[in-house]
Structure 1
Amino acid sequence: MATERQALERMAQLTEEINRHNYNYYTLDNPVVSDKEYDALYDELVRLETESGVVLPDSPTQRVGGEVLKGFEPHRHRARLWSLDKAQDTDDLLAWRARVDKAVADYNAKNPDTPLPPPSYVVELKFDGLTLNLTYEDGRLVQAATRGNGVIGEAILPQVKTIRSVPLTIPFDGIIEVQGEGIMNLSVLEAYNRTAAEPLKNARNAAAGALRNLNPRTTAERKLNAFFYNVGYADGVSFENHAEMVTFLKENRFRVNPHVRYFERIEDVEAELKLIADRRPSLDYLIDGAVIKLTDMRTREALGYTDKFPRWAVAYKFEAEETTTVLQSVGWEVGRTGKITPVARVEAVELAGVTVQNCTLNNIGDIERKNLKHALGTRVYIRRSNDVIPEILGKADDEPGGEIVFPAECPACGTLLEQRGAHLFCNNKLDCKPQTVGRITHFASRDAMDIDTFSIMTAEQLYNSCEVRDPADLYDLTYESLIGLERFGEKKARKLLEAIDKSKGRELASFLFALGIPNTGKATTRMLADHYGSLDAIMGASAEELQGLPDVGGIVAESIVSFFADAAVQESIRRMREAGVKAEGEQPIEVRTDSVFSGKTVVLTGTLSVLSRDEAAKKLEALGAKVAGSVSKKTDYVIAGESAGSKLTKARDLGVTVIEEEAEFIRLLGE
């Protein structure tokens, strides 16, 4: 008996400890133990449950999903879940504000002794997933339901228990209903689709489909998330304002989205809506707008509801980032590495404020995975994010269409293509025009040799008229060879030659990046330059030696060795050196320790106008700063230029110091 009691006590202890780790990991994004330590605790709990035949009510093992359900039971909510009136533009928003002002004024005229305060606002994100209504009694999650018609929804407790950011128990002992949104993060969707037999079409449908799936194990496989934003029913607690309610949610371990902003003026609300719209593409989850609410709870109660909507809130809708259109045709583009990329032509459609006609399909594996092989002429889902060419997500209907025929030969040079994994490649590196033009354009780009005024049109013109077939050919160009070209006057010709001559002094890291070594980016080439200090040492390094360096695996090491073993590459480098290209490692600099940045971790994001990102990074390193690529709680400063995206958002959410004025940044650099 003592053994059974000890087992139950240990199970309770493990349950509490694992749930605490889940809260730190899934809700706070702040893990405090390693995966190995967590797995050991979890495995011990599973073993004890198996041996005892007992599973505690809040055991984390319930989150893997149970038996297949026979159907959904109806659930009547304790408090109605309301829809929101919509504002499509600023005029609609101001009209809502006018109605609020009038209602408050009318109330105050009738109740002069207890007037309502002037309206103030809270702005939250409007998530695009599935609304959840969770019921807690005496600190335990006893029911979860969909919104349904607002009065009666479908009970989905087994499915919701699989969401690890949903607390199974909370410190509050009364009865409450908490509303939130079940979502699938876009990064999770992408990872899921890479191995899924049937890829999911979009994150919203993926979340809704998982939560309304009768098999909770399927729900668990989707690795859903949730954000919570409202207490709809409360017995034992009340709030004076919205901020108090948000604090209550956080204190009871609910995951609250960090983007909650408070304003006194409607003009500031308008500005915030624009900021959210600009940041929307950088978010890792779908939103279709923002919600504006009055903050004062007494005002909410006084204004009340229409038949459909609360008068004290409005949803501001953004342009759709996802829609359907007809897939008309598929073309094939050749990149600088010889990779063949399918580009879809679709029926023109408005999406996120722009007219879309071209979409990416990534590769032939992507086409097959998304069941698009026979989709020509059918409707497809498309999504625009991160301000790049929109992506086709999948078919919008089950109707068969015309076949997308994969090319056997390079569309540019006719060379037989080779399939490597999910990609097709043209191996004709020397005589395939798009590859050559792409390599030369990359070589001249800002982060590479930084040849000012150079563009892909310049590369094509030099290819066609000056027989530029290799980056080394750029250093053989003369004034006479350029002055006769179309759109090349004396000034433009001299400016290009001066920029080419200036590029000869670029340091080793930039030269390595300019060469376009397969499977290497800026971070790797910088590391190689810092470690070896000379081009000859890098060219002579073995694969085994390279694999001993940070973040260099077998594939990268072999790519570097194979690249420099190529006779054509060796000849190109010889010619460039002969022409005066130095490609030398940077001289060690004396690092200062008296700067505001000394010993600090700094992240650069966005576009700087006075300094390039590389220049800024070098100056920071000279001041003793560590320049990092991502924002975390360990980041001390974020330097944000124009068009800063997700890194700026995360910095604000984490409370990291942000410097947005470039003049202030330069002043702090001591220049």
Structure 2
Amino acid sequence: MDPMHSMEQLVEELNKYNYHYYTLDNPLVSDKEYDVLYDKLVALEAETGVTLPDSPTQRVGGELLKGFKPHRHLTPLWSLDKAQNEDHLQSWNNRVLKLVGDYNTKNPDAPLPAPSYVVELKFDGLTLNLTYTDGQLVQASTRGNGVVGEGILAQVKTIKSVPLRIPYTGGTIEVQGEGIMNLSVLAAHNESGADPLKNARNAAAGALRNLNPKVTADRKLSAFFYNVGYAEGISFGNHKEMMTFLKDNFFKVNPFVSYFDSFDQVMHELHLIQERRSSLDYLIDGAVIKITDMRTREVLGYTDKFPRWAVAFKFEAEETTTVLESVVWNVGRTGKITPLAKVEPVELAGVTVQNCTLNNVGDIERKNLKFAIGTRVFIRRSNDVIPEILGKVTEESDGEEIIYPEKCPACGFPLEQRGAHLFCNNRFGCKPQIVSRITHFASRDAMDIETFSDKTAEQLYDELEVRESADLYTLTYEDLVKLERFGAKKATNLLEAIEQSKGRDLAAFLFALGIPNTGKSTTKVIAEHFGSLQAIMSATAEELTALPDIGGIVADSIVNFFADPFMQAGINKMLSLGVEAKAPEKPQPVATDSFFSGKTVVLTGTLHKLTRDEAAEKLEALGAKVTGSVSKKTDLVIAGEKAGSKLTKAKELGIQVIENEDELIKLLEG
């Protein structure tokens, strides 16, 4: 076959696979199969000395550029008027209604339709303006001043969700979007030990405005597209038609685009977006509301600065700066020593922040925080969790030094550094470790000892010398009733809960033991496979790694845990005191002809008519595989109330979602 023809075929095939992988999140082939074709294309390009303009080999980044060349946009890129609160939004809508009403009064023969609205996310990245001529990407630029931007074609070509060629060949078009860095990509980059990036917005902007396109390629950016600003040979009647055009031409369009006929619905959607915001894998700083009808947009027109037919609604900031005042060191269940930053109180996302997480010693080094006490730092809060310090505002080491402890702050035992973490190895003499282990043992997913709390564990440690979980089964009414804040009823209730916990099944008991690197799903897998505690305690690493989702590290953790004579003694003590660690009952026959048969299902959010465990049990009986995380292999997500990031990811991946619990129950009942 002619090499040129072979190259054209390979480029077309590889670009199709890229589109399904990076834009649709629906891969058609394995990475290995893709790499074979890619390497074949690279070899042909080397042999012929020719690189086709839409070849995926261009996405790795080319030579260092000498500077950015100015690019004049074919049509202006307008900025948006901003509404800071709901009253401002209502004022914007009232102006729209008035202008539409005035026009219709003057033009009764050709009135405008009643306003309808589209709501889109406002991404916190860098605006991109892409130019295509006869289907080929010929230029890409920043927004600049809205009239002239900087040409960044080489950098944008490295973004794998940007099409290098599109089906539309009717003339020249300009498409606007936002270049972003996903938060998961940012986290992976910073974990890699490379130069730390302070936040996703700056990381994306810095990569796109970097004269070395290889740096841009290394950042693994993405982009969402939302507007056709200039178009030859095509026009749109409304916003939905334009979005369909973008999708049909292989542009990545965000799934959270909603259409409404009433402004009350718009306001409700804004509240939903704010609730959903913390579960997204990218930064947004608000939402954009636009009139959908294109003729109405033309009539409403523009002010000197803004279109009258659109407005941006800004959310409260999730990132800000404050002063790092001090660092304290906390001891966890496994002996890991975790730094906690005390910062100057600051308002962020509706709360006053005084504490921020610093994950470990390695995190402090990566973020240039070793000499940061007394200096200003970036902090970010999301998903109602403790905020995180992202880095110093300045690059200088101009603050006081964070002193790493050499001894455990709780027990004084010498610390050991393993990887990026410090550890106290005094397992049996360090109070915070013991209290945390006992609290975990009694928790709901473990032995489910009702009314038990970390304060209870600490009180039992201090006043009754409870030093291990097995000691809970030796407690008596006389021991408990004499304790402060322990009356007869509380003592009786706790003893009854401890007695009831003896009947917990094997999987729960294994999880309660707190085996390192082993979570609830893993303990369930090994309990169901081996069927008895004794079989698990004598299992080899080879037997364990033969099970699904158990790798070498987890297998070694399990083997080493049960080889420890102290652990063996504690387990034997519990068994002698009546703990059953019952093997799971033989599973009932699994249905093969139900709606759920063969499907991989994820449960998320709160169900009201079933517990999550009950729902999972019924699903498995109907032939489903219930897993804990959403991926491309997931077939179905069942979303209860307050479903978060798993629901968001499911919608982004186009996975079927059941959000109505009554519908779920009907399906479960056949």
The bucket for the TM-score relative to the shorter chain is over 0.9
- 1:36 correspondence with 2:32: yes
Change (3 A) 1:463 1:45: same
Match of 2:340 among 339, 343, 351: 343
Q: 1:220-619 maps to which residues of 2 (within 5 A)?
A: 220-399=217-396, 400-591=398-589, 593=591, 596-609=595-608, 611-619=610-618
Change (3 A) 1:611 1:335: farther
Change (3 A) 1:177 1:664: closer
| Pairwise CA distance, 1:633 | 6.2
Aligned match of 1:649: 648
CA RMSD, aligned part only? Answer: 1.7
In 2, are the aligned partners of 1:80 and 1:150 still within 8 Å (CA)?
yes
For residues 482 and 665 of structure 1, the distance between their equivalents in structure 2, rounded to whole angstroms, comes to: 45
> Secondary structure of 1:268's match?
helix
| Pairwise CA distance, 1:81 | 0.5
Counterpart residue identity of residue 58, structure 1 = D
- 1:622 correspondence with 2:621: yes
The TM-score normalised by the length of structure 1 is 0.96
Aligned match of 1:60: 56
- 1:392-447 deviation per Cα after TM superposition (whole angstroms, max 9, x unaligned): 11111134111001000000000000111110000011111100111011111111
- 1:281-324 deviation per Cα after TM superposition (whole angstroms, max 9, x unaligned): 11111111111111111111110111111111111111111111
> Secondary structure of 2:638's match?
strand
Counterpart residue identity of residue 346, structure 2 = V
For residues 448 and 513 of structure 2, the distance between their equivalents in structure 1, rounded to whole angstroms, comes to: 13
Change (3 A) 1:198 1:611: same
For residues 140 and 196 of structure 1, the distance between their equivalents in structure 2, rounded to whole angstroms, comes to: 38
| Pairwise CA distance, 1:31 | 1.1
| Pairwise CA distance, 1:614 | 2.8
Answer with 278-287 or 648-657: which moved more: 648-657
- 1:55-76 deviation per Cα after TM superposition (whole angstroms, max 9, x unaligned): 1111111111111111111111
The TM-score normalised by the length of structure 2 is 0.96
Match of 2:6 among 5, 10, 15: 10
Q: 1:82-161 maps to which residues of 2 (within 5 A)?
A: 82-161=78-157
For residues 637 and 24 of structure 1, the distance between their equivalents in structure 2, rounded to whole angstroms, comes to: 19
In 2, are the aligned partners of 1:591 and 1:621 still within 8 Å (CA)?
no
Q: 1:156-195 maps to which residues of 2 (within 5 A)?
A: 156-173=152-169, 174-195=171-192
For residues 37 and 260 of structure 2, the distance between their equivalents in structure 1, rounded to whole angstroms, comes to: 45
> Secondary structure of 1:78's match?
coil
In 2, are the aligned partners of 1:591 and 1:624 still within 8 Å (CA)?
no
| Pairwise CA distance, 1:615 | 3.4
| Pairwise CA distance, 1:562 | 1.3
> Secondary structure of 1:347's match?
strand
For residues 634 and 36 of structure 2, the distance between their equivalents in structure 1, rounded to whole angstroms, comes to: 31
- 1:525-573 deviation per Cα after TM superposition (whole angstroms, max 9, x unaligned): 1111011000000001122322322222222222111111112211111
- 1:625-663 deviation per Cα after TM superposition (whole angstroms, max 9, x unaligned): 221223356645433233210222233455555444556
Q: Report sequence identity in percent.
A: 73
Answer with 220-229 or 581-590: which moved more: 581-590
- 1:452-509 deviation per Cα after TM superposition (whole angstroms, max 9, x unaligned): 1211111111111221111111111222222222222222222222211111111101
Counterpart residue identity of residue 490, structure 2 = K
For residues 155 and 595 of structure 1, the distance between their equivalents in structure 2, rounded to whole angstroms, comes to: 56
Counterpart residue identity of residue 639, structure 2 = A
Change (3 A) 1:608 1:493: farther
> Secondary structure of 1:584's match?
coil
| Pairwise CA distance, 1:665 | 4.3
For residues 540 and 156 of structure 1, the distance between their equivalents in structure 2, rounded to whole angstroms, comes to: 61
After TM superposition, what 4+ stretches of structure 1 lie above 6 angstroms from structure 2?
A: none
In 1, are the aligned partners of 2:208 and 2:216 still within 8 Å (CA)?
yes
> Secondary structure of 2:167's match?
coil
- 1:212-258 deviation per Cα after TM superposition (whole angstroms, max 9, x unaligned): 00111111111110000000111110000000000000011111111
> Secondary structure of 1:511's match?
helix
In 1, are the aligned partners of 2:318 and 2:349 still within 8 Å (CA)?
yes
> Secondary structure of 1:178's match?
strand
For residues 622 and 29 of structure 1, the distance between their equivalents in structure 2, rounded to whole angstroms, comes to: 30
Consecutive unaligned residues in structure 1, runs of 5 or more: none
> Secondary structure of 2:312's match?
strand
Between the two proteins, the alignment pairs up a number of residues equal to: 667
| Pairwise CA distance, 1:666 | 5.0
In 1, are the aligned partners of 2:61 and 2:155 still within 8 Å (CA)?
yes
Answer with 185-194 or 485-494: which moved more: 485-494
Answer with 611-620 or 342-351: which moved more: 611-620
For residues 344 and 350 of structure 1, the distance between their equivalents in structure 2, rounded to whole angstroms, comes to: 16
